[in-house]
Structure 1
Amino acid sequence: MRDPVTGFEYPNEWVAACRSPELLDDVQRGLAVLTASGLVLRRGFSTGTTAAAACKAAVLSLALGTVKEVEVRLPCGIAVRLPVDACRGQASCRKDAGDYTADVTAGLEFVATAAPSLNDGAHFVPGEGIGSFARDTPRHRQGTPAISAPALECIQRSIDEAMEETGLSGATIILTVPRGAEVAQKTLNPKVGVHAGISVLGTTGLVEPWDDHVTEGVLDRIARSAAVVLTTGRLGLRYSRLLFPEREAILVGNHLDEALQAAAGGDPIVCGLPGLILRFMNPQILEGTGCATVEELMATAGGEVVLRRELEAFRSRYPGVRVVIVDRGGRVLGESP
C-alpha cells in the first residue's frame, strides 16, 4: 500500500496490524496515514484548501442556488470533497484539522462572496482576516497578502472550475476570515512579519497529524531504515529524493531531535531548507541579528558566514551526521563535510 501524498510504501506488517481496516481506503486515497502500531490518523485540510472550497462554492451557488459540498483538486494531485454552506453567492467552509490536535486554526470559518462581473475572467480579492506582510522579505513585498503560491493556485483553479461549470464569463470573489486576526495571534505570524490575519497556506493541501504521526510511525521507519535522509518540509523532501535517491527520505517536521535519536545506529543525513534546521542547531540564531526569520538572515551579507559557523558547530556535536542545506530552488547553500 502506497501513500499518494508522500510516496511512502507501507510495510505489509503495518497493514496487517491496522486497528481500523475500514479506514484503509482513506489511507490509500491519502486522506489518512497508517502508523507502525496499526493506528490510522486522519489528515486535515490546509487553510488554502478550505479557502478554495469556500470560493468555489460561492461561484457555484450563483447558478445552483444552494451548494452543500464541493470537490477541490489539491496541490498534491488528489481530489477531495469538502462540506460547505453556500447560497446565492455567499459561501462558508470551516477548516478541518483532522487528527492534528495542535492546529490553532481548527474550525476556523472561511467566507467567500461571489458576484457576476461585466469584465471577463475571475477577480479574486483577499479580504479581512487574511494577513499581509508588514515589511519586505526575500520573497514578499510589503502589503502582499500572505497566501502561498500553491494555495493561491488551488484557489484560482477551483474558481475557474466553478466558472466553467456555471458558464460565467466574469466574476469577483472576495474571501474573508472573520476571526482571522484573532487566531493569527496564536500562530507564528507576528514573529515572521505577517499582520492583521492568518496565512493561507498548503504545499500539499493537507495537514499532517504531526504530533502523533511522528512518534507512532515515523520514528519506527527511521530506526528500521538502513540509509535515511531526514528532512523538515515538503520542498526538503523533494530535494532529498533528488540528491539522495539511494536513501529513504523521511519527513520529520520540527522533530529533528527525536529523529536523530532514532537514527543513532546509522549514518543519517539531514537535508532541507535552512529555517527549521538552523533553528534546531541553534535556537538563539536570530538574537542580535535584527532579522525576524532565518530566511531573512540567509539573505543578508553575513548569512553565509553564519551558516558555515553553525554547520561546523553542529558537526562537533553530531560527528556522524551529515547536513545539507538547500534553498527553495534546490541549490546547495552549505553542507557539513
Structure 2
Amino acid sequence: MRDPVTDFEYPDAWVAACRSPDRLDDVRRGLAVLTASGSVIRRGFTTGTTAAAACKAAVLSLAFDTVREVDVTLPCGITVRLPVDGYRGQASCRKDAGDYTTDVTGGLEFVVMAAPSLSGGVQFVPGEGIGSFARDTPRHRQGTPAISAPALDCIRRSIDEAVEEADLSGTTVILTIPRGAEVAQKTLNPRVGVHGGISVLGTTGFVEPWDDHVTEGVLDRIARAPGAVVLTTGRLGLRYSRLLFPEHEAILVGNKLEEALRAVDGDAVICGLPGLILKFMNRDVLAGTGCATVEELSATPLWEETAHRELAAFRARCPRVRVVIVDRDGRIIGESP
C-alpha cells in the first residue's frame, strides 16, 4: 500500500498491525497516515485548501443558492470534499487541522463574498486577515499578499471550476479571514516580516499530523533504511532529495532533525531548503545579519560566508552527516566541505 501524497510504500507489517482496518481506505486515498504501531492519523487541510473551498462555495451559491460541500483538487492532485456554508454569494469554511493538535489556525473561519462580474472575467481579491509582506524578500515584493503560488493556483482553479459550473460570464471574489490578524500573532509571521494576518499556504494541500505517533513511524523508517538515509524537512526538499540521491531512501522529518539523527545507525545526508536546516545547525544564525529569515539571508552577499562557516562547524560536530542545501529551483547553494 502506497501513500499517494509522499509516495512512501507502507511495509506489509505496518498494514497487518493496523488497529483500525476500516480506515485503511483513508490511508490509500492520502487522507490519513499509517504508523509503524498500527495507528491511523488523519491529515488536515491547509489554509490554501480552506480558502479554495470557501471561494468555490461562494461562487456556486450565486447559481444554486445553498451550498453545503464542495470538491477541491489539491496541489498534490488529490480531490477532496470539504464542508462549507454557502448562500447567495456568501460562503464560509473552517480550517480542519486533522490530528495535528497544535495547529494554531485549526478551526479558523474563512469568509468569501462573490458577485457576478458585469464586464466578464474573474477577479480574486485578498482582503482582511490575510497577511502581507512588510518588505521585499527574494520571492515577494513589499505589500503583496502572503499567499503561496501553489495555494493561489488552487484558489484560482477552484473559482474557475465554479464559474463554469454556475454558467457565469465572470465574478469578483473577495476572501477575508476575520480573526486572521489575531491568530497571526501566534504564528511565525511577525518574525518573518508578514504583517496584518496569516499566510495562505499549502504545497500539497494537506497538513501533516506531526505528533509523537508520526515521529514513531518516521524513526522506524529511518532504522529500517538500508545504507545512508536522506533526511529532509519539507515537500520541495523531499522532491530534490529523491532527484539528487536516487540510490538512498529519502524521509521527510519536518522540524524533527535532532530526533531523526539520533535514530540513524551509520551515515546520513540532510538535504533541503535552507530555513530549517541552518536554524537547526545554529538557532542564532540570523543574529547580526539584518535578515528576518534564512531565505532572505540566502539572497544576500553574507550567504556564502555564513553557509560555509555553519556547514564546516556542523561537519566537525557530526562527521558522518553530509548536508546539502538547495534553493526552490533545486540548485545546490550550500554543501558540507
TM-score bucket of the superposed structures, by smaller chain? over 0.9
**Equivalent-residue separation in structure 2 for 1:213 and 1:329 (angstroms):** 32
**Equivalent-residue separation in structure 1 for 2:231 and 2:332 (angstroms):** 16
Judge which range, 216-225 or 197-206, deviates more.
216-225
Q: What's 1:123 paired with?
A: 123
Q: Within the alignment, does 1:258 sit opposite 2:259 as a pair?
A: yes
Following TM superposition, by how much is the alpha carbon of 1:214 offset from its aligned partner in structure 2, in angstroms?
Answer: 3.6
Following TM superposition, by how much is the alpha carbon of 1:239 offset from its aligned partner in structure 2, in angstroms?
Answer: 0.2
Q: Which runs of 5+ in 1 are unaligned?
A: none
Q: What's 1:297 paired with?
A: 297
**Equivalent-residue separation in structure 1 for 2:17 and 2:282 (angstroms):** 39
Q: Within the alignment, does 1:246 sit opposite 2:247 as a pair?
A: yes
What pairs up with 1:108-257 in 2 under 5 angstroms? 108-227=108-227, 228-257=229-258
**Equivalent-residue separation in structure 2 for 1:234 and 1:23 (angstroms):** 25
**Equivalent-residue separation in structure 2 for 1:213 and 1:184 (angstroms):** 27
SS of match in other structure, 1:216: helix
**Equivalent-residue separation in structure 2 for 1:215 and 1:330 (angstroms):** 27
- Contact 1:125–1:173 (CA under 8 A) maintained in structure 2: yes
Following TM superposition, by how much is the alpha carbon of 1:93 offset from its aligned partner in structure 2, in angstroms?
Answer: 0.1
Q: What's 2:78 paired with?
A: 78
Alignment root-mean-square deviation, CA: 0.7
Q: Within the alignment, does 1:306 sit opposite 2:309 as a pair?
A: no
**Equivalent-residue separation in structure 1 for 2:216 and 2:168 (angstroms):** 48
- The CA deviation string for residues 56-110 of structure 1, in whole angstroms up to 9 with x for no partner, is 0000000000000000000000000000000000000000000001100000000
Following TM superposition, by how much is the alpha carbon of 1:119 offset from its aligned partner in structure 2, in angstroms?
Answer: 2.1
SS of match in other structure, 1:210: coil
What amino acid does structure 2 have at the position aligned with 1:233?
A: G
Q: What's 1:332 paired with?
A: 332
**Equivalent-residue separation in structure 2 for 1:250 and 1:232 (angstroms):** 9
Following TM superposition, by how much is the alpha carbon of 1:213 offset from its aligned partner in structure 2, in angstroms?
Answer: 4.5
Following TM superposition, by how much is the alpha carbon of 1:296 offset from its aligned partner in structure 2, in angstroms?
Answer: 1.0
Q: How many corresponding residue pairs?
A: 336
TM-score (norm 2): 0.99
Following TM superposition, by how much is the alpha carbon of 1:288 offset from its aligned partner in structure 2, in angstroms?
Answer: 1.2
**Equivalent-residue separation in structure 1 for 2:280 and 2:272 (angstroms):** 12
Q: What's 2:5 paired with?
A: 5
What amino acid does structure 2 have at the position aligned with 1:53?
A: A
Q: How many percent identity over aligned positions? A: 80
What amino acid does structure 2 have at the position aligned with 1:258?
A: E
- Contact 1:214–1:252 (CA under 8 A) maintained in structure 2: no
TM-score (norm 1): 0.99
